[in-house]
Chains A and B, each alone.
Chain A
Amino acid sequence: MSLTHQHPSDRHGPVGEPIVDEATGLLTDPTTPVSIHHETTAELDRLWDDKPGLWGRLTAVQNDAVGRRMMLTGFFFLLLGGSVDSVVMRLQLARPDSEIIGPQLYNELFTNHGSVTMFLVILPIFEGFAILTLPMLLGSREMPFPRLGAFAYWTFLMGGLLYYSSTLFSAVPDVGWFAYTPLSGPRFSPDLNVDFWVLGLGVAEIGAIAGAVEIIIAVLKLRAPGMSLARLPLYAWAMLTTAFMILFAFTPLIVGSLLLELERGFGMHFFTPEAGGSSLLWQHLFWIFGHPEVYIQFLPATGIVSMVLPVMVRRRIAGYSWMVAAMIGIGFLSFGLWAHHMFTVGLPAIVLAFFAAASMVIAVPAGVQFFSWIATIWDGRVRWSTPMLFVFGFMVTFVVGGITGVMVAAVPFDQQAHDSYFVVGHLHYVLIGGVAFPIFAGVYYWFPKFTGRMMSERLGRWNFWLLFAGVHVTFFPMHIVGLLGMPRRIYTYPADAGWAIWNLISSLGLLLILPGIGFFMLNVWWSRKHGQPAGPNPWGADSLEWALPSPPPQQGWTRLPIVRTRHPLWDQDDLHTGDERHERLADALGKWPLKWRAVLVVGTGNGEPEEIFRVSDTSIWPFVTAVGTVVIFASELLKLRLGALLGAAIVVGAVLMWNRPSPAPMTEAEELEFEREHGVPVRASGSLVVARWGMALAILFLSIAFGSFVLSYFYLRLENPVWPPAGVERPDIWIGAIIVALFAVAVAAVQAGRRGILADDRERLLGGLGAGITCGAAAVALLVTDLVQADFGAADHAYGSIFHTLGGFAIVVTCCALVMSAATFVYGARGEYSAHRFSPIDNVARFWVATGAIAALTIAVLYGSPYLTS
Chain B
Amino acid sequence: MTEHAPIPVDTVEPPLEPAVRQPGTFRMWLLTIGGPVIWIVHFGAVYLLAEAACTAQRSARIDFVGAETLRVAVVALTVIAVVGCVALAVAARRAARRREAAVAVGVGVPLSLGAAVAVAATCLPVLVLAPC
Contact = CB atoms under 8 A, between A and B. Distances in A.
Interface of A: 1-4, 228-230, 320-322, 324-325, 328-329, 331-333, 335-336, 347-351, 353-354, 356-358, 360-361, 364-365, 579, 581, 603-606, 608-611, 672, 675, 679-681, 688-689, 692, 714, 718-721, 758-759, 835-836, 842
A4 B9 CA distance: 23
A610 B107 CA distance: 25
B14 to A, nearest CB: 9
A3 B104 CA distance: 10
B31 to A, nearest CB: 11
Interface string B103-117: 101110011001101
B131 interface: yes
Interface residues of B, number: 62
A336 B106 contact: no
Interface in B86-115: 99-103, 105-107, 110-111, 114-115
Contacts of B122: 336, 354, 357-358, 361
Given A325-B114, A328-B111, A348 B102 contact: no
A354 B7 contact: no
Interface in B37-87: 37, 39-40, 43, 46-47, 50-52, 54-56, 59-62, 70
Contacts of A321: 105-107, 110
Contacts of A604: 22, 25
Contact of B36 (A1, A230, A332, A347): A332
Contacts of A360: 121
Given A1-B102, A351-B51, 13 more contacts: A229-B102, A324-B106, A324-B107, A349-B130, A350-B70, A350-B130, A358-B121, A364-B117, A605-B22, A605-B24, A609-B9, A679-B9, A689-B10
Contacts of A324: 103, 106-107
B117 A361 contact: yes
Nearest to B122: A357
A344 B47 CA distance: 17
Q: Which of A357, A608, A681 has the most CB of B within 10 A?
A: A357
6 contacts: A353-B129, A354-B46, A354-B122, A354-B123, A604-B25, A606-B8
Contacts of B107: 321, 324-325, 328
Contacts of B40: 332, 335-336
Interface of B: 1-3, 5, 7-10, 12, 15-18, 20, 22, 24-25, 28, 32-33, 36-37, 39-40, 43, 46-47, 50-52, 54-56, 59-62, 70, 99-103, 105-107, 110-111, 114-115, 117-118, 121-126, 129-132
B60 to A, nearest CB: 4
Given A350-B132, A675-B12, A361 B118 contact: yes
A581 B9 CA distance: 14
B22 A606 contact: yes
Contacts of A688: 10, 18, 20
Contacts of A608: 5, 7-8
Contacts of B130: 349-350
B16 A758 contact: yes
Contact of B47 (A351, A361, A692, A714): A351
B5 to A, nearest CB: 7
A324 B70 CA distance: 36
Contacts of B2: 1-2
A608 to B, nearest CB: 5
Given A324-B106, A325-B106, A348-B132, A718 B59 contact: yes
